[in-house]
Homo-oligomer: A and B are copies of this chain.
């Protein structure tokens, strides 16, 4: 049985962790920044070392292609992303890229000839922090989002995704359009506490929760705080505070499998002696049950209207993004569980709370994911961590699955 090179996997991950390293021990490599560009160039140079044919599409997605015996057969694909959250971690995304690279290194140095081509993919702007929404490039690739619309996504400074792709030299010629894929595997850290709590090494998600994003805008009335009596104020931040607590209470009130979060808030004019008149905040709702998540929003919207009315504020809500829950390919999931078992890795069949590029790819090709434990369940933070032996275990299972699938005719 072939094994990936755990030492080399770690070394490559450590090199990647230096690109955009933060003083707090994490990584900040926001999408399409110079750090992102540097990471891409490192990855491409490694792809070339193992003789992959490197292609970049119109969305900046990078594909490193290794020929099979019969290139008319649809390829097996793996990969993830190299962008991070602000002050993010050293594993989210990049583990799936370097894990996949390590698989291709093993195939290369052992001269393994697969039946099918094998592709290592790096997806642009998965995180959605700099350019909302998340997973935008796999979304375009899967035909679920429009290319021109994606190009027009702007960051907080007004820079456009399309222009930034061009600036860093990653607006490729190849159409960002899916083609038949035989099987797609994405190796990723769990980003939650379940595997660690259950003391399992490998997680296999049956699918990804639905993901609904909303934007809420409140308008009250600004005034000097001193001479303005409490009665008759229209304080937009107080209205927002009530709403944020409603979001936080909702999952336990409604029961069922759901999380709801306000992660982002903008308060205006944000001066300590002026009553806030404008607040914008976001709502993120996720559940395995799409209808339940929609009901949750209706419930929240009703509360928001009452709160805004009671405080004499105007309310505007927007649906920014809705991705349905995705059931991954169960045959591939069974294969992963079986391969983990053969290596005596403990495993857990679970759900994924986080969105992944795999969610969009799953809509056009048989897809599954391999999770490894996140220490303390921490992710999207500088202290995000995963044991090296777990990274190695995940990459070994990925190796087994890719060899298996790419040999199938």
A residues with a Cβ closer than 8 A to B are: 85-87, 92, 127-129, 132, 134, 190-194, 209, 211, 213, 221-230, 232, 235, 237-238, 240-242, 244-245, 248, 251-252, 259-265, 267, 269-277, 282, 284, 286, 352-355, 377-381
**CB contact under 8 A between A223 and B378, given known A270-B265, A271-B129, A271-B264:** yes
**CB contact under 8 A between A267 and B269, given known A225-B284, A274-B85, A286-B226:** no
Could you tell me if A381 and B222 are in contact, using CB atoms closer than 8 angstroms? yes
Could you tell me if B353 and A226 are in contact, using CB atoms closer than 8 angstroms? yes
Could you tell me if B277 and A284 are in contact, using CB atoms closer than 8 angstroms? no
Which of A226, A228, A260 lies at the interface centre, i.e. has the most chain B CB atoms within 10 A of its CB?
A: A226
Could you tell me if A259 and B226 are in contact, using CB atoms closer than 8 angstroms? yes
| A247 CB, nearest partner CB in chain B, Å | 9
Quickly give the copy total for this chain: 2
**CB contact under 8 A between A252 and B224, given known A132-B272, A272-B264, A381-B277:** no
Cβ–Cβ < 8 Å partners of A129 in chain B: 271, 273
**CB contact under 8 A between A269 and B86, given known A238-B248, A381-B222:** yes
Could you tell me if A379 and B252 are in contact, using CB atoms closer than 8 angstroms? no
**CB contact under 8 A between A252 and B228, given known A264-B267, A265-B267:** no
Mind listing 9 A-B residue pairs with CB under 8 Å? A228-B353, A230-B248, A237-B244, A237-B262, A237-B265, A241-B248, A264-B270, A265-B265, A265-B267
- Nearest B residue to A226 by beta-carbon distance? B353
> How distant is the Cα of A209 from the Cα of B229 in the complex, in angstroms?
13
> Which of B209, B228, B271, B355 makes the CB contact (< 8 A) with A259?
B228
- Nearest B residue to A235 by beta-carbon distance? B248
**CB contact under 8 A between A352 and B191, given known A273-B380, A284-B272:** no
> Which of B194, B245, B286 makes the CB contact (< 8 A) with A225?
B286
Could you tell me if A272 and B276 are in contact, using CB atoms closer than 8 angstroms? no
- Given A227-B352, A229-B259, 6 more contacts at CB 8 Å? A134-B273, A191-B223, A193-B228, A225-B284, A237-B262, A263-B276
